[in-house]
Amino acid sequence: MTVLLNDTFLRALLRQPVDYTPVWLMRQAGRYLPEYRATRSRAGSFLQLCQNTELATEVTLQPLDRFDLDAAILFSDILTVPDAMGLGLHFVEGEGPKFAHPLQDEEAVRRLQVPDMNKLQYVFEAVKSIRLALDGRVPLIGFSGSPFTLACYMVEGGGSRDFRLLKTMMYKRPELLHHILTTNAEAVTLYLNEQIEAGAQVVQIFDTWGGILSDACFVEYDLFYLRQVISGLKRHVHGRQVPVVLFTKGGGLWLEKLAQSGADALGTDWTINLHQARERVGHQVALQGNLDPFALFGTKELIDSEVKRLLTDYGHGSGHVFNLGHGINQHTDPEQIKYLIDAVHRLSPKFHTS
């Protein structure tokens, strides 16, 4: 059993004392790094990269070799689960993900089943391999999409500007959408538990599209299934506690409800103020976020002042994990990322003196 050399991230998620504010960034492994683009072209495609244990391990560690990050995140994608359900995932250059067999009629929905986890073995192999390669440097985050966010892609057949097909199903045939969500919730629970068994030390649920819903629909179609997943997760494995992070983009209005989902920490986009968020839910959960990814296109002085602002907003004491409010944009300069991470480490210790 390797010793974890840097547990600052785990401690912050559990609101235990830390010496500085830990930082990792959503999409820290990705196209903004030239070494990522080189490995992806060796793999052939993004999906082949996800399925190649050795290369998926390599790209997971690339940002850690460049920057002083406090966590690693499994290199994979949320859409591996619907792919294993037989929807036929492929990526069209410049257009993002597409499904060959989206769920657009009753028959397709009725056929949907929880996939055999053996089809996702490549993900669990990647988790094991990354843990070995990390050798205790920092904790490894596993992840999944939320049942609702996966359903968005499964019904639309890809990304969407207005989610017309998904919302039509929701208002016209709610029982079909509930069938998809029930199946997804079961699949996501199994999938995350397998990642935990394979060695993921934290899991994050990406609820990227929760924010498109009305208040009432959010409770019925998203939160209900999030709670179901979280209550089914293995939280104590081989003597270690596995914290759960829930990131609902656009979920700032629902912080109190999200804080009662059973998650240990909430990811926040840039629309909320961390001081107000902490007042609302900081006694229940840790908070992760919430820099606008485009702040990285500003000057170094701007980055410094944004870091100071976020640290000051959260205030003194543990329970904050510094992150962006959404993934790194592919046109970001890696030097700016380095500057940001070092700024968090330079400016945060004074918020943790006792």
Give the angle 208-211-217 at the CA atoms, nearest 5°: 115
Nearer Cβ to ligand CP3, position 143 or 314? 143
Q: Is 97 in the site for ligand CP3 (CB under 6 A)?
A: yes
Are 58 and 39 spatial neighbours (Cβ–Cβ below 8 Å)?
Answer: yes
Q: Using CB under 6 A, which of 34, 159, 174, 349 touches ligand CP3? A: 159
Q: Is 9 in the site for ligand CP3 (CB under 6 A)?
A: no
Query: In 178-205, which positions are buried (b, 16+ CB within 10 angstroms) versus exposed (e)?
Result: bbbbbbbbbbbbbbbbbbbebbbbbbbb
What is the number of other CB atoms lying within 10 angstroms of the CB of residue 276? 13
Q: Using CB under 6 A, which of 23, 29, 212, 337 touches ligand CP3? A: 29
In this chain, which residue has its C-beta nearest to ligand CP3? Answer: 208
Q: Using CB under 6 A, which of 43, 79, 310, 340 touches ligand CP3? A: 79
| Interatomic CA distance for residues 25 and 11, integer angstroms | 17
Nearer Cβ to ligand CP3, position 96 or 174? 96
Are 323 and 26 spatial neighbours (Cβ–Cβ below 8 Å)?
Answer: yes
Q: Is 143 in the site for ligand CP3 (CB under 6 A)?
A: yes
| Active site amino acids | 27, 31, 40, 77, 153
| Interatomic CA distance for residues 301 and 306, integer angstroms | 9
Q: Using CB under 6 A, which of 315, 317, 327, 334 touches ligand CP3? A: 327
Mind spelling out the 3-state secondary structure of 330-345? CCCCHHHHHHHHHHHH
Q: Which residues contact 151 (CB under 8 A, 6 or more apart)?
A: 166, 177, 180, 181, 184
Q: Using CB under 6 A, which of 9, 32, 75, 218 touches ligand CP3? A: 75
3-state secondary structure of 80: helix
> What is the enclosing helix (H) or strand (E) of 82?
helix 80-82
Q: Is 206 in the site for ligand CP3 (CB under 6 A)?
A: yes
**Shortest distance (Å) from residue 84 CB to ligand CP3:** 15
**Shortest distance (Å) from residue 293 CB to ligand CP3:** 10
Q: Where does this chain touch ligand CP3 (CB under 6 A) — which range of 73-81, 161-169, 170-178, 236-244?
A: 73-81
Nearer Cβ to ligand CP3, position 152 or 233? 152
Q: Where does this chain touch ligand CP3 (CB under 6 A) — which range of 21-29, 102-110, 303-311, 336-344?
A: 21-29
Q: Using CB under 6 A, which of 13, 43, 69, 73 touches ligand CP3? A: 73
| Interatomic CA distance for residues 160 and 279, integer angstroms | 35
Q: Using CB under 6 A, which of 9, 20, 30, 345 touches ligand CP3? A: 30
Nearer Cβ to ligand CP3, position 180 or 347? 180
Q: Is 221 in the site for ligand CP3 (CB under 6 A)?
A: no
Q: Using CB under 6 A, which of 44, 96, 136, 349 touches ligand CP3? A: 96
Q: Is 66 in the site for ligand CP3 (CB under 6 A)?
A: no
**Shortest distance (Å) from residue 207 CB to ligand CP3:** 9
| Interatomic CA distance for residues 156 and 87, integer angstroms | 12
3-state secondary structure of 287: strand
Q: Is 224 in the site for ligand CP3 (CB under 6 A)?
A: no
Q: Is 78 in the site for ligand CP3 (CB under 6 A)?
A: yes
Q: Closest Cα to residue 154, out of 217, 103, 203, 81?
A: 103
Q: How many CA atoms lie within 13 A of 139 on its CB side?
A: 23
Q: Exposed (0-12), middle (13-18) or buried (19+): which is 124, by Cβ within 10 Å?
A: buried
Footprint of ligand CP3 (CB under 6 A): 26-31, 40, 46, 73, 75, 77-79, 96-97, 143, 159, 206, 208, 327
